[in-house]
Structure 1
Amino acid sequence: MPARQRQQQSRHLRAEAIIEAARSLAERDGWDAVTTRRLSEAIDYSQPVLYGHFPSGKSGIMDAVALQGFERLASKIRSDRGGARTQRSRVTRLVHSYLGFADQEPAVYLAMFARPTALPFGVESTPEQLRRAYDELAESVAGCGGGDDPETFVEVIWSALHGMVMLSRDDRLRPSARARRIRTLVDRFVD
């Protein structure tokens, strides 16, 4: 392997280690606990090495965690949708997939949707990872919404799912009513 390729691979592996350490620390202690100092201690890299990979520091690292999260969310939605044959089953699988992702990766979900970010949404410069996640949402609800504008319809579904995640996370919804909320959401959005 040429030296330049080894250097690039080494750099990529260091960046991945930083991202993984941040995600792990955030899952355990919350995003407020993620600092460049704590990260450098956790992975035994100096703070200048962290800033060499992520010049904007913690915010750049959080954006990298979010981008990886969008990739995993898109993959999960696509996989869970599987061979669903009806609109109802596609939307039901989407809801379970989305809520399940948020339950399984709460700190990643917060980096994606609830923490400040420099990632642009819904514009031409939107990163490909975000576009793929959006496209999987859109594919899951294709054909629903009657005559509504399809993009707006996807945004409304997405907003409803995000609201369910955040309100459940903050214990503002009855845990015992989750299945009923899911049925009600699907009933409202499937023609």
Structure 2
Amino acid sequence: MPTNRKVVFDVGNVLLRWDPFHLYRDLIPNDEKRSWFLQNVCTSAWNLEQDRGRPWTEAVASLIAAHPEWEAEIKAFDERWHETVPGTIEDSVAVLADLKAKGEQVYAITNFSREKWAECLIRFPFLQSFDGVIVSAHERLLKPDPAIYNVLLERYGLSAGECIFVDDSGKNVEAARSVGMQAVHFVEPIDLRAELRGLGAAI
């Protein structure tokens, strides 16, 4: 029988591996130059604005205007984005599938751009198996803002106390706890099944 525990997954680096290094290790072979580029041009903060809802076309154009000498490498972040996602984290995907097979409700809250999320739904069909998903770009809210967690609770009629949130970011985990959720900080190596079971999930 299903439990009253609802597991809420992050996607990036919980279900899908994501790291720009996978793309840029070949595009910028020099370690020092690659590190500088990712810290000063295609930065985490720049990428996060796409997760907040900025269109990729606008993001790329503005960055090329500021750094024209890096035009090809900037365009690659968009055009070859899927190379930053080499595949799934298989054990986590298996946990998700097992929860669904047992009749459990599963949800997701993810910082993701609108365009890349739509593409990933096609590339990774298991992402369509959630009972509900909150995508940051759709809401124009980002984790760890507590508001994005409350969107999930309100939209799907959930109580915070019945939710177990799984995320690789400590800040996002703490934010989930601040709204009343239980939470698992996903840092490999981790026995996700054991962690969830310990919090009352039927897995």
What's the TM-score once normalised by structure 1's chain length? Answer: 0.38
* Structure of greater relative contact order (alpha carbons < 8 Å, 6+ residues apart): 2
What's the TM-score once normalised by structure 2's chain length? Answer: 0.36
More helix by share: 1
More strand by share: 2
* Max Rg structure: 1
